Structure formats: C-alpha cells, structure tokens
Amino acid sequence: MKALVILFISLFSFSFTSRDITDDVANALKQGNASELVKHFAEKVSIKVLNQEDLLSKSQAQALIEDFFSKHKVKSYQTSHTSIVNGDQQFITGALDTNTGKFRISILVRGSVISQFRIENDNG
C-alpha cells in the first residue's frame, strides 16, 4: 500500500513539473525570448530551425534561436497538443505566428529538460 501511495505522489509531482516547463516554454515562445527558452534545454539538444539541423550545445542553440527570433518577430504562440510518451517523455507541438509567416514548433521533453526542439515552416 505504501508503494502505491508513493507511486501516486511521484506521478502527481511529475505532472506538475511537466506542466511548469510547458508553461515556461510557451511563455518564452510568446515573447520570442531565446534565453528563457534555452534554460530548459539539455546540455546537448537536437535542434532544427528551418533548414539548419544539428546536435548543439545550449549556447549554440541559443544563438541559432536568437537569430531566428531577430528575423521573425513573434506575434503569438499557441500550444496545440501535449502528450506523455513512455512515462517520462513529453511531446509538445504548437503554432508560432510571426511577422514573416507561420511556423510549427515541436518539442521533446525527456525528464525535465528539452532534448529536441524544431521550428519548421507551416505549409498548412
């Protein structure tokens, strides 16, 4: 019985951790704030921004995302879907509207850090 209670408490606290990172990430995207966004990145992150794709350090990822935000001023961001995968992974998708067009955001959170981040043209 104790093990069951501990399991429920662990899952309950994990759900708040995931929600907090989701809210923080959404707020950073709404503001076009790369430094706040990158705070949630793993030390190495798989990243794709338009046609550039690589495994980058946090500082390299921040420079790439700052460059994107300087060329594409954010009007709005809306999370469209979040799902838990394999218990400790969360997949987030959203729509980013900028002064130059619309983009699709895809994020993979492992544990409590972002391990994959993608910005792609939204051709829909």
pLDDT, tens digit, for every residue of 30-66?
A: 999 999 999 999 999 999 999 999 999 999 999 999 9
Tell me, what's the pLDDT at 124? 60
CA separation for the pair 14, 68 (Å, rounded): 32
Mean pLDDT in residue range 100-108:
97
Would you list the domain boundaries of the chain? 2-121
The mean pLDDT of the chain is 87
Question: In the predicted model, is pLDDT for residue 67 greater than 80?
Answer: yes
pTM: 0.82
Angle made by CA atoms 60, 102, 83, in degrees to the nearest 5: 75
* Tokens at 40, concatenated: 């949630």
CA separation for the pair 16, 23 (Å, rounded): 10
* Tokens at 90, concatenated: 């969360």
The domain 2-121 is classified under which CATH number: 3.30.70.120, 3.10.450.50, 3.30.420.40, 3.30.465.10? 3.10.450.50
* Tokens at 71, concatenated: 């060329």
* Tokens at 19, concatenated: 């929600």
